[in-house]
Amino acid sequence: MSCRLAKSKSPEFVDNLPEAQTAKPMNRQRKGLFWTAIFVALFALSQDYLFVEWPQATTLLGFPLWLFWYFFVQILLVAAIWLFSKKFWQD
Amino acid sequence: MVYVILAAYIALVFASSLRGTRTIGRTPEGYFLANRNLTTLTLFFTILATNFSAYYFIGFAGEGYRRGYAFYVIMALGTALACLSFYLIGDPVWRLGQRHRYITPAELIHHQSGSRVFALLVALVMVAFTLPYLALQIVGAGYLLEVVTNGGIPYLAGAALLTCFTIAYVFIGGMTSVARTDLKQGILMFALMLIAAIIISSKLGGLPKANEAVFARLPELFAREGADGYYTPAKWFSWLVFWLFCIPMFPQIFMRFYIARTLDHLKRSAVLYAFAPLVLSLLPVIIGVLGHLSHPGLEGKAADEILPLMLVSHTPEWFAALIMTGALAAFMSTLDSQLLALSTITTRDFLPLFGWKPRALGEEVRMGKAWVVLFAIAGLLIAWHPFATIFDMGKMAFSGLAMLFPPVFFLLRVKPFPPLAGIGAIVAGEIGVVAFHYGWLPPSCCFGFEPFIVLLALELLICTFGWLRAQTWSRRNEV
């Protein structure tokens, strides 16, 4: 099927969300909110100036302490996206 | 020795990228999208190598030298957050691409919105803002080859040489060649960077000792807000969210969402994409920070040369040449994808507007190849006399492309979405980008945030308003 930019003005197809994502909409919506909250919380952890003042010193390997905080946040993010891809992001 | 390494590298990459591409590249889907058949590792590396351009080698070390370890977080966590776009944009793009066999972003936009103007506007913005970014790769490659060969290959000759080499394998093998080359170049450039960081820090007495020595001289490089307090809370917020909006709107990345063999491959690539920058982004920043021990006092653009300077100071000549070859790999792996994406968009979206229609299956591929050459020449012409510094060219290109995110997201995820709202949002956003770039609007009106954040917020407002209006109309019609 050709998908070039045809001259017609009205859409031939307007796709809705895939079936898997429309099944049990309330339940899915709740789970969607849960995962949104998880990722917003992770992003909030990256705004560390709001809740902590880091000491001006070096620690392990000569890196500053706050750098380890960010290693931790990113590992949490990787774990979250992995779980998200298993539990919520469906085929 | 430098020439031998460069020649060997070019021959190896070229030969291996062409294996088995003859049959794949005959159809438009085969040439432009590798028959939508990439598995996790190839997909991940082609996205990563496409995204980690020359800026990874040159810019990361330079910014590490100027700003310190705070820059690492911006790039590592910022890039990792962009993995969410694999779901927000990549998932619907992949599904709709499988169902309707779209090849370009504009085909999807047109089919889903029914608006040809909306689709062409997206295509136009993609071409207009990718072209300077493409030229930026050529500029970087030219500079680097000149440094590596000690001026033996002048800037413009080096830029032309590497552009011709990139054209050659894109021309022959299309997306299949590009993806295979990206896999090899990606592994090569990151392995070499790891070895370089290990050698340099051990020559300086080991990483802890070297870091302590820099800290004793310049503690601000270890401060959370970076040297000179550069990363204020508003700037920190701006840069961390920016990549999420920007990366999926690069046409070369957007089109990669089409080419995963299954959704599982796309999901696994998203997880790997979140993890990779954790280590990869740290390596050049370490070299940049430790650069103060061997080459103190570099200022402005001179700091961008810290990586080659450190390599020359602390590693044998052949190894420095090898690392610089890795940097060239980074340039080319971005350039090849950009050339292919722009030629695809032009061939399929713009040429039919002027009455061109392929008469045979192979004609479209041949036309695409011709546009690969034309875009490469256009990039070389810009690189001949760059209109701005590398950083400014990059920032403008990234901001312009990021402005496509809100309307595309609304179209894919929030229905009903009127195309007029999408068109309005893009026009407002792009006018804003140009106005801030040329100083017609003062940055002071952004309350300390980067201008692109204010413009994205404006676009989100326009899109939300359009969506609410469309919802009201559709409810009225139902009644």
Q: What would the mean pLDDT of B427-455 be, rounded to a whole number?
A: 91
> What is the SS3 assignment for chain B?
CHHHHHHHHHHHHHHHHCCCCCCHHHCHHHHHHHHHCECHHHHHHHHHHHHCCHHHHHHHHHHHHHHCCHHHHHHHHHHHHCCHHHHHHHHHHHHHHHHHCCCCHHHHHHHHHCCHHHHHHHHHHHHHHHHHHHHHHHHHHHHHHHHHCCCCCCHHHHHHHHHHHHHHHHHHHHHHHHHHHHHHHHHHHHHHHHHHHHHHHHHCCCHHHHHHHHHHHCHHHHCCCCHHHCCCHHHHHHHHHHHHHHHHHCHHHHHHHHCECCHHHHHHHHHHHHHHHHHHCHHHHHHHHHHHHHCCCCCHHHHHHHHHHHHHHHCCHHHHHHHHHHHHHHHHHHHHHHHHHHHHHHHHHHHHHHCCCCCCHHHHHHHHHHHHHHHHHHHHHHHHCCCCCHHHHHHHHHHHHHCCHHHHHHHHHCCCCCHHHHHHHHHHHHHHHHHHHCCCCCHHHHCCCCHHHHHHHHHHHHHHHHHHHHHHHHHHHHC
How do residues B45-88 score in pLDDT, each as one tens digit? 888 877 777 677 778 888 899 999 999 999 999 999 999 999 99
Closest approach of B107 to chain A, Cα-based (Å): 6
Confidence tier at B299 by pLDDT (50, 70, 90): confident
Check CB contact of A34 with chain B, cutoff 8 Å: no
pLDDT given for residue A50 in this prediction: 85
B224, A48: Cβ pair inside 8 Å?
A: yes
- What gap in Å lies between CA B349 and CA A6, rounded to an integer? 10
A56, B222: Cβ pair inside 8 Å?
A: yes
Check CB contact of B205 with chain A, cutoff 8 Å: no
Closest approach of A43 to chain B, Cα-based (Å): 9
A70, B76: Cβ pair inside 8 Å?
A: yes
Check CB contact of B255 with chain A, cutoff 8 Å: no
Instruction: Return the higher-pLDDT residue of B25 and B12.
Output: B12
Highest-confidence range of A16-20, B2-6, B275-279, B471-475, by mean pLDDT? B275-279
A74, B115: Cβ pair inside 8 Å?
A: no
Average per-residue pLDDT in chain A?
79
How do residues B253-292 score in pLDDT, each as one tens digit? 999 899 888 899 999 999 999 999 999 899 999 999 999 9
Check CB contact of A51 with chain B, cutoff 8 Å: no
pLDDT given for residue A37 in this prediction: 95
Of A64, A71, A89, the CB nearest to B278: A71
Confidence tier at B396 by pLDDT (50, 70, 90): confident
Closest approach of B381 to chain A, Cα-based (Å): 30
Confidence tier at B236 by pLDDT (50, 70, 90): very high
Check CB contact of A56 with chain B, cutoff 8 Å: yes
pLDDT given for residue A11 in this prediction: 47
Check CB contact of B217 with chain A, cutoff 8 Å: no
pLDDT at B18 over 80: no
Highest-confidence range of A18-27, B151-160, B359-368, B401-410, by mean pLDDT? B401-410
pLDDT given for residue A33 in this prediction: 92
Instruction: Return the higher-pLDDT residue of B94 and B185.
Output: B94
Check CB contact of A70 with chain B, cutoff 8 Å: yes
A91, B91: Cβ pair inside 8 Å?
A: no
| Contacts with B80 from chain A: Cβ below 8 Å | 74, 77-78
Between positions 391 and 430 of B, the ones with CB within 8 A of A are 413, 415
Instruction: Return the higher-pLDDT residue of A43 and A18.
Output: A43
| Contacts with A39 from chain B: Cβ below 8 Å | 84
pLDDT at B302 over 80: no
Confidence tier at B151 by pLDDT (50, 70, 90): confident
pLDDT at A23 over 70: no
Question: What share of chain B in percent tops pLDDT 90?
Answer: 41
pLDDT at A7 over 60: no
Instruction: Return the higher-pLDDT residue of B25 and B336.
Output: B336
Confidence tier at B12 by pLDDT (50, 70, 90): confident
With CA atoms as reference, report the closest residue to B100 among B47, B33, B44, B38. B33
pLDDT at B382 over 60: yes
Angle at B456 between CA B452 and CA B458, to 5 degrees: 115
pLDDT given for residue A24 in this prediction: 64
Highest-confidence range of B1-15, B180-194, B306-320, by mean pLDDT? B306-320
B271, A82: Cβ pair inside 8 Å?
A: yes
Instruction: Return the higher-pLDDT residue of B368 and B107.
Output: B107
Question: What share of chain B in percent tops pLDDT 70?
Answer: 93
Check CB contact of A55 with chain B, cutoff 8 Å: no
Closest approach of A53 to chain B, Cα-based (Å): 9
pLDDT given for residue B211 in this prediction: 94
Confidence tier at B389 by pLDDT (50, 70, 90): low
- Inter-CA distances, B147 with A6, B108, B151, B160, Å: 49, 43, 6, 15
Question: What is the ipTM, given to two decimal places?
Answer: 0.86
Instruction: Return the higher-pLDDT residue of B221 and B298.
Output: B221
Confidence tier at A6 by pLDDT (50, 70, 90): very low
Angle at A39 between CA A37 and CA A42, to 5 degrees: 110
- What gap in Å lies between CA B98 and CA B89, rounded to an integer? 14
The pTM (predicted TM-score) of the whole model is 0.86
How do residues B407-419 score in pLDDT, each as one tens digit? 999 999 998 899 9
- What gap in Å lies between CA B116 and CA B94, rounded to an integer? 21
B211, A58: Cβ pair inside 8 Å?
A: yes
pLDDT at A21 over 70: no
pLDDT given for residue B275 in this prediction: 93
Residue in B closest to A8 by C-alpha: B114
Instruction: Return the higher-pLDDT residue of B303 and A74.
Output: A74
End-to-end CA distance of chain B: 78
pLDDT given for residue B144 in this prediction: 77
B114, A3: Cβ pair inside 8 Å?
A: no
pLDDT at A8 over 50: no
The residue behind tokens 């590009």 is: B178
Mutate to test the interface with A, among B271, B344, B413, B417 (most CBs of A within 10 A): B271
Average per-residue pLDDT in chain B?
86
Q: What would the mean pLDDT of B128-153 be, rounded to a whole number?
A: 83
Q: What would the mean pLDDT of B424-446 be, rounded to a whole number?
A: 92
